Structure 1
């Protein structure tokens, strides 16, 4: 991927998404020229981040469908998670997470990796673990004013913050360095009904592969990863559409739980 400065057309798309999010206005069509490459998507995303102005507290990583990998030059995408939309629910309370009425809304069970110092070295799947100081359970909230965001390919998804609208930090996985993290069973429930169950083996090369991808991708874009940055490492049980008023519960290893509800902004 080659990074590029946003064109005027791409800046217009970024302005439209930032305005739609701020004004909570649904978008029935993509607001401009559709990005064809991930470089195009990240140019729009970077322009939107600059316009938005809020500090970033983390990044989400999502999977690109196998049949689109060759076309888009990779198997993952990323988007920012703003610090004011990261909610700590590690004490067991159930936060209400805001989503866009008339837009796309989903929730996902994810493991959340906290970065410590990220050095200038080239990491691999093993050494990248030295960058991680903590792992917590969590739920990513995916929401965009554009209801069709996931129906037009990963570049469109990435162009609007990767379809992120918040992160729920659940309890920690304290023994992540010694257990079989990849084999941990995970369940996701909506209003008490299980809608997905899997392990992290579904996540390509797992959460540390997501960390490696993020470091490399943000370096290409000239973006640093400060200590304390969270990584929402990818959907484990799937992307589960959810409606305002419903409750989501993610269960990890049969013993750790995190929950939230969703509500229209």
Structure 2
């Protein structure tokens, strides 16, 4: 779907607010009512931004909104220069929009190998996956109310993404029971969420299926090496500059970061 002039203006306004770190108290135009409208704005913003997309985030759409928006997930780009590794002792500083919305989320991260042209199901989509890691998605937007107006608004500003922290790999993921693996998230050392991937609809591989289908419909390829941040496991945890976040997977695998502005 080609973006209208107004949708391009919205995309440009979000890019300007991100570049200048200017908080937005109001949505910069008419709010999108459909996911198609949201992705038209998103595609226009990706083109205007010009950076390489290194991955995609996938988030859940609330059950009561699925009928209205026609899907149970949404997606947004993660730019390659905002994907960083947790080096253990030297944890990365991840910037957010201090006057807007900012959160951190414990997520399983998939790295795609070759995605063929044929259709996949929940079992065969694993053949597309080259690696599975632990990680933290940084969700942030200059628009403080980005999550208050439905998934189309969230998707329109890069899906509310500001970066991705890659943690240690999950060795032997092919044979692990990922769905029931315990995950915790802490801010400044205090646990703020704990859950398993049972909260994630059909899990991270369901997110991979969704992404393949959705990007194909938009004419976007998934080259080898593309990362997928598969969805919040313990919740969306609001966070602010100066704080630190840490995710704990399976009681022993840690990934963390500090938050900056």
Q: How does 1:15-30 map to 2 (within 5 A)?
A: 15-30=12-27
CA–CA distance in 2 between the matches of 1:219 and 1:83? Answer: 20
Q: CA deviation digits over 1:142-169, x for unaligned, max 9?
A: 0000000000000000000000000000
Instruction: Give me the TM-score of the superposition, normalised by structure 2.
Output: 0.99
Decide which of 9, 17, 32 is 2:6's aligned counterpart: 9
**Other-structure match for 1:254:** 251
Q: Does the aligned pair in 1 maintain the 2:61–2:74 contact within 8 Å?
A: yes
Q: Does the aligned pair in 1 maintain the 2:186–2:245 contact within 8 Å?
A: yes
CA–CA distance in 1 between the matches of 2:218 and 2:25? Answer: 30
Q: Does the aligned pair in 1 maintain the 2:98–2:240 contact within 8 Å?
A: no
Q: How does 1:97-108 map to 2 (within 5 A)?
A: 97-108=94-105
Q: Does the aligned pair in 1 maintain the 2:105–2:138 contact within 8 Å?
A: yes
CA–CA distance in 1 between the matches of 2:216 and 2:182? Answer: 33
In the alignment, is residue 130 of structure 1 matched against residue 127 of structure 2? yes
In the alignment, is residue 174 of structure 1 matched against residue 157 of structure 2? no
Specify every segment of 5 or more residues in structure 1 that has no aligned partner in the other structure, as ranges: none
Q: How does 1:3-82 map to 2 (within 5 A)?
A: 4-82=1-79
CA–CA distance in 2 between the matches of 1:91 and 1:239? Answer: 23
CA–CA distance in 1 between the matches of 2:39 and 2:230? Answer: 18
Instruction: Give me the TM-score of the superposition, normalised by structure 1.
Output: 0.98
Q: Does the aligned pair in 2 maintain the 1:90–1:172 contact within 8 Å?
A: no
**Partner-residue secondary structure (3-state), 2:174:** coil
* Count of aligned residue pairs for this structure pair: 261
**Other-structure match for 2:260:** 263
CA–CA distance in 1 between the matches of 2:89 and 2:223? Answer: 27
CA RMSD between the two structures: 0.7
CA 1:92–1:128 in structure 2 vs 1: closer, same or farther (change >3 Å)? Answer: farther
Q: CA deviation digits over 1:109-139, x for unaligned, max 9?
A: 0000000000000001100000000000000
CA–CA distance in 2 between the matches of 1:113 and 1:91? Answer: 20
In the alignment, is residue 161 of structure 1 matched against residue 158 of structure 2? yes
CA 1:90–1:183 in structure 2 vs 1: closer, same or farther (change >3 Å)? Answer: farther
Per-residue deviation at 1:91?
4.3
Per-residue deviation at 1:93?
2.8
